[in-house]
Amino acid sequence: MELLLVLVGLVAVGAVVVLVGRARVGRGEARAEQLRLAEQARLDARRTMESVLAMNDREFEEYVADLCRRDGCTDVVRVGGAGDLGADVIASLPDGRKLVIQCKRYAPHRSVGSRDIQTFNGTARAEHHADIPVFVATCPFTKPGRDFAAKHALVLIDLDLLGFWNTGSPLTSFFALDITRSGTHKRPQPKSAPKRPARRLPPTRPDTAI
């Protein structure tokens, strides 16, 4: 009888241990799910281009870094700030090549010209030893700038292409583009006040014979 009581006690203890273990696993899984949902919500909040254009410089650089992580890049670091020598984001592509990115959060009606691209090309390669320099801007690039980038194998991502990257196109899909022709590269005009409709004059009475 005593042996039976001992066995029953051991079974009861074992059941309690199993239940406690499952509860801990359940809490861990719930916590992991909460973290996943929070991260997804943070990324979803950046889905629209309107929200991208509303970011400040630091937020835009972190947003670009997040897109790199999404596309499988490793060792992703946001470097932007004083003394960054043109490197706002540095990362490694899945194949090991070094990626150096400069980010320009300009108003859509502005443009990035050849001088900025030439400067970035020099610092990205000479200072940061980039295998692939990438210039990301929330505006178009000028034709001389695009021609220089094509000649020196820089990747340019303008507002049009950023929209595709934002909605799921992988970063590597932009590497083979003919940058001299990709995107519309049209400069939208700044918003202006709506024009008032022209004032209509009352109709004149035709002359009548006396």
The CA-based angle 166-104-170, given to 5 degrees, is 25
Overall pTM > 0.75: no
Burial 95-108 (b: 16+ CB within 10 A, else e): eeebbbbbbbbeeb
Of the candidates 48, 146, 56, the one whose C-alpha atom is nearest the C-alpha of residue 104 is 56
C-beta separation of 148 from 118 below 8 A: yes
The Cα 42–Cα 21 span in angstroms is 32
Q: Which residues pair with 171 in a beta bridge?
A: none
Residues 22, 27, 33, 39, CA torsion sign: negative
Digitized pLDDT (tens) for each residue of the chain, 210 residues in all: 655 554 545 555 555 555 555 656 677 788 888 887 766 655 655 568 889 999 999 999 999 999 999 999 999 999 866 666 889 999 999 999 999 999 999 999 999 999 999 999 999 999 999 999 999 999 999 999 999 999 999 999 999 999 999 999 999 999 988 887 654 444 444 545 555 555 665 555 555 444
Tally of helices (H runs) and strands (E runs) in the chain: 6, 5
60 burial level (CB within 10 Å; 0-12, 13-18, 19+): buried
